[in-house]
């Protein structure tokens, strides 16, 4: 009888574990420190710390290479963090030893996490998201847990031209007219990733924009609420509840925006992990603010 009880208990635990894995698509995007330690010597693994060179030189996870934002984002007019030219990105990634067979681990090297998620979005745009994961906590979380870092430099052998191929996924990036046509509709849920004071158009934000507030019809999930103070992801149910509180609870599409598209990458990536069809409005409110009244703005806590 005791063996039977143990067998039933194990079966139930396996069942619960399987259900959680099925519902938690974030596990396919965000990997744990334990996973990282187990896979650091895997063939074709490339670890990229998203930061400046100075931050990298202060200490990093063994085997890591640095990738700076200028290598995967460009400025277009007044808009920063825009999608780069395919050839320049291909060259930058191949210089890190990345081919179509690589498994890419992205590590927050900055004090915040948005730049790493922006790189993930960029890789997704070029069809490489299936090759990429993000280390939970990044370098800050790694140090918080007392794990070892090094100042030794790793330089992977550059990959020859033709060994890294893109399969473009351009539909995940949308423009102002797509947002205008779909904000507030039943099938599309537009989410503002900025802090609440910007979303509400509070007085302390009015020097930043001519039309402070948010896209009419948009909800608000702040990019900072996704992680804790050590950049570890909050638990699945907490994150899911943030989206549900903004009406994201069906099969509708999520369109994320922020100031320019950097922080929105966090909300985009998490929405994707939650199982929603996700897109990002690049240019975001920095562009929306320059448009005519045909692109309406709302202040306060309400969407409309």
> What is the CA 88 to chain-centroid distance, rounded?
21
**Segment 296-300 long-range contacts (CB within 8 Å, at least 24 positions apart):** 296/215, 296/216, 297/201, 297/211, 297/212, 297/213, 297/214, 297/215, 297/216, 298/213, 298/214, 298/215, 298/216, 298/217, 298/218, 299/200, 299/201, 299/212, 299/213, 299/214, 300/200, 300/201, 300/213
Q: What is the pLDDT of residues 157-213, one digit of tens each?
A: 999 999 999 999 999 999 999 999 999 999 999 999 999 999 999 999 999 999 999
Distances (CA, A) of 176 to 173, 206, 223, 241, 285: 10, 22, 21, 28, 9
Tell me whether domains 32-144 and 170-298 share a fold: yes
Residue 302's pLDDT band (boundaries 50, 70, 90)?
confident
* Predicted local confidence at residue 2, as pLDDT: 40
Rounded (10°) angle between helices 236-244 and 264-273: 110
Average pLDDT, the chain: 92
Q: How distant, in Å, are the alpha carbons of 107, 167, 236, 244, 276 from that of 25? A: 19, 22, 10, 16, 10
CATH number of 170-298: 3.40.250.10
221 strand-pairing partners: none
Q: Where are the domains of the chain?
A: 32-144, 170-298
Between CA 183 and CA 15 the distance in angstroms is: 39
pLDDT over threshold 50, residue 105: yes
Q: How confident is the model at residue 139 (pLDDT cuts 50, 70, 90)?
A: very high
Tokens 């399987």 -> residue: 18
pLDDT reading at 13 higher than 60: no
Residue 1 above 90 pLDDT? no
* 30-31 and 132-135 beta bridge pairing: parallel
pLDDT, tens digit (0-9, with 9 covering 90-100), for 249-299: 888 899 999 999 999 999 999 999 999 999 999 999 999 999 999 999 999
How do residues 43-56 score in pLDDT, each as one tens digit?
Answer: 999 999 999 999 99
Please give the CATH superfamily to which domain 32-144 belongs: Rhodanese-like domain (3.40.250.10)
Would you state the pLDDT for residue 21?
Answer: 35
């Amino acid at each position: 009888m005791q063996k039977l009880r143990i067998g039933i208990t194990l079966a139930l635990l396996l069942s619960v574990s399987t259900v959680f894995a099925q519902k938690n698509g974030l596990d396919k995007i965000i990997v744990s420190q334990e996973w990282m330690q187990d896979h650091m010597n895997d063939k074709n693994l490339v670890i990229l710390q998203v930061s400046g060179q100075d931050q990298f030189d202060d200490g990093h996870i063994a085997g890591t290479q640095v990738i700076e934002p200028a290598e995967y984002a460009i400025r277009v007019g007044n808009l920063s963090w825009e999608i780069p030219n395919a050839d320049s990105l291909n060259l930058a990634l191949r210089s890190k030893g990345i081919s179509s067979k690589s498994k890419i681990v992205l590590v927050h090297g900055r004090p915040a996490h948005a730049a790493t998620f922006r790189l993930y979005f960029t890789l997704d745009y070029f069809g490489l998201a299936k090759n990429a994961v993000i280390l939970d906590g990044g370098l800050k979380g790694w140090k918080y847990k007392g794990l070892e870092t090094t100042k030794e430099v790793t330089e992977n052998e550059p990959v020859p031209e033709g060994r890294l191929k893109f399969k473009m996924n351009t539909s995940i990036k949308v423009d102002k007219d797509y947002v205008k046509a779909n904000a507030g509709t039943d099938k599309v849920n537009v989410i503002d990733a900025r802090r609440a004071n910007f979303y509400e158009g509070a007085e302390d934000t009015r020097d930043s924009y001519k039309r402070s507030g948010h896209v009419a019809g948009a909800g608000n999930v702040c990019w900072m609420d996704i992680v804790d103070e050590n950049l570890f992801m909050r638990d699945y149910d907490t994150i899911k509840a943030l989206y549900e509180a903004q009406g994201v609870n069906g099969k509708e599409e999520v369109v994320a925006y922020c100031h320019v598209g950097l922080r929105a990458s966090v909300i985009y990536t998490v929405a994707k992990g939650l199982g929603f069809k996700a897109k990002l409005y690049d240019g975001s409110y920095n562009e929306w603010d320059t448009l005519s009244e045909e692109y309406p703005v709302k202040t306060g806590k309400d969407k409309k």
